[in-house]
Amino acid sequence: MRDWWLRTLLVLQRPRPVFVALRDESRESLSDRAEPIMAIVALAGIAAVLATGTASHLMDQNVYDPGSQYDNVDVAIWALLAGGITGIFGYFGIGVLLHLPARWLGSQGTFRRNRQIVAFAATPIALSIVLVPLRLALFGDAIFRTGGSDAGTASHVFSALELVFTAWSIALLVTGVRAVHGWTWGRASAASVLAVAAPLALAFR
């Protein structure tokens, strides 16, 4: 199990050996990488929901029911629950969106292997959760209020950083598909683009 925790960090520096290791679908290997995958999926989901427009006005006062306003504990609970659901949905949903075009392009890999590619490719998004304490340190709970002190240039900087982490994950996805299936860059890119097109369209609509 320790090897797979180390690989979770290694995927950010030398991703190819990590993805190649996903070809091993022995019971021991699958068991050892289950916990790292769960951690990545959960953190990526939490980071994703905290970057949404919904999160940016969680603590706005409800003019119809002032007592329903979120406090810090409510925000934390919301992030854990919504993040967990989002992470699981992304793990299986994007896994399906990768598995289908991969099969069309000639892959013999299992659905489990393809969704695990998605999980390790999401490591940069999971890592982007470090932006949350930075934003809190700079702006406090204003990041959860409409028109808070985080509005303006600073907000654009953090949004740009979130895009960088997302692009990094997409690049890892292409790398992972290529490494696991032994494909060309073009073939791996085609499968990956088809997998992320719908989620990106929903995120930026």
- In whole angstroms, give the CA distance from residue 111 to residue 63: 47
Mean pLDDT over each residue of the chain, to the nearest integer: 89
pLDDT reading at 28 higher than 50: yes
The per-residue pLDDT for 153 is: 65
The more confident residue out of 54 and 203 is 54
pLDDT reading at 204 higher than 90: no
3-state secondary structure the chain: CHHHHHHHHHCCCCHHHHHHHCCCCCHHHHHHCHHHHHHHHHHHHHHHHHCCCCHHHCCCCCCCCHHHCCCHHHHHHHHHHHHHHHHHHHHHHHHHHHHHHHHHCCCCCCHHHHHHHHHHHCHHHHHHHHHHHHHHHHHHHHHHCCCCCCCCHHHHHHHHHHHHHHHHHHHHHHHHHHHHHCCCHHHHHHHHHHHHHHHHHHHCC
pLDDT band with cut points at 50, 70 and 90 for residue 60: confident
The per-residue pLDDT for 149 is: 56
The per-residue pLDDT for 140 is: 85
Q: Which domain holds residue 158?
A: 2-203
pLDDT reading at 68 higher than 90: no
- The average pLDDT across 66-85 equals 86
- In whole angstroms, give the CA distance from residue 27 to residue 97: 25
The per-residue pLDDT for 92 is: 96
Of 104, 128, 109, 50, nearest to 82 by C-alpha is: 50
The per-residue pLDDT for 67 is: 57
The more confident residue out of 61 and 14 is 14
pLDDT tens per residue across span 127-179: 999 999 998 888 888 888 876 555 566 678 888 999 999 999 999 999 999 99
Of 177, 29, 173, nearest to 107 by C-alpha is: 177
The more confident residue out of 151 and 38 is 38
pLDDT tens per residue across span 104-120: 999 888 999 999 999 99
pLDDT band with cut points at 50, 70 and 90 for residue 64: very low
Query: Per the structure, how many domains does the chain have?
Result: 1
